[in-house]
């Protein structure tokens, strides 16, 4: 059965998102394929090196505003993908 777990890492804004702050997502079992990040009211650019590090760990990162990130997460779950979401409230 599919399940969802909710955790609340200490990220106040997109500026707090780093390779270190995303460490929990690299530890999840089963290993996630896609991490959907919702950066609040609008799409925010994240550091390219951090995104590259996540790809090297086998995790694709999709960055969207939070409402669209929620929709993308739900769609990927319905497709039975192994996905996680990190969402900053709008």
How many structural domains are present in the chain? Answer: 1
What is the per-residue pLDDT for 11?
Answer: 64
Position 8 pLDDT exceeds 80: no
Q: What is the pLDDT of residues 15-45, one digit of tens each?
A: 777 888 888 889 988 999 999 999 999 999 9
The CATH number of the domain where 26 resides is what?
Answer: 3.40.1230.10
Q: Distance between CA 28 and CA 54 in Å, rounded?
A: 13
Q: Are 88 and 65 spatial neighbours (Cβ–Cβ below 8 Å)?
A: no
The token duo for 73 is 């997460």
What is the per-residue pLDDT for 75?
Answer: 97
**Domain with 13 in it:** 5-87
Q: Kindly tell me the burial class for residue 53, based on how many C-beta atoms sit within 10 Å of its own C-beta (0-12, 13-18, 19 or more).
A: middle
Three-state secondary structure call for residue 12: coil
Q: Distance between CA 62 and CA 35 in Å, rounded?
A: 6
Position 7 pLDDT exceeds 60: no
Q: What is the pLDDT of residues 40-71, one digit of tens each?
A: 999 999 999 999 999 999 999 999 999 999 99
């Amino acid at each position: 059965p599919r399940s969802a777990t909710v955790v609340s890492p200490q990220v106040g804004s997109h500026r707090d998102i780093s390779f270190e702050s995303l460490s929990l997502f690299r530890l999840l079992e089963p290993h996630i394929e896609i991490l959907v990040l919702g950066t609040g009211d609008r799409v925010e650019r994240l550091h390219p090196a951090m995104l590259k590090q996540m790809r090297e760990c086998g995790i694709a990162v999709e960055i969207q505003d939070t409402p669209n990130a929620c929709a993308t997460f739900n769609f990927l779950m319905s497709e039975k993908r192994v996905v996680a979401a990190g969402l900053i409230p709008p």
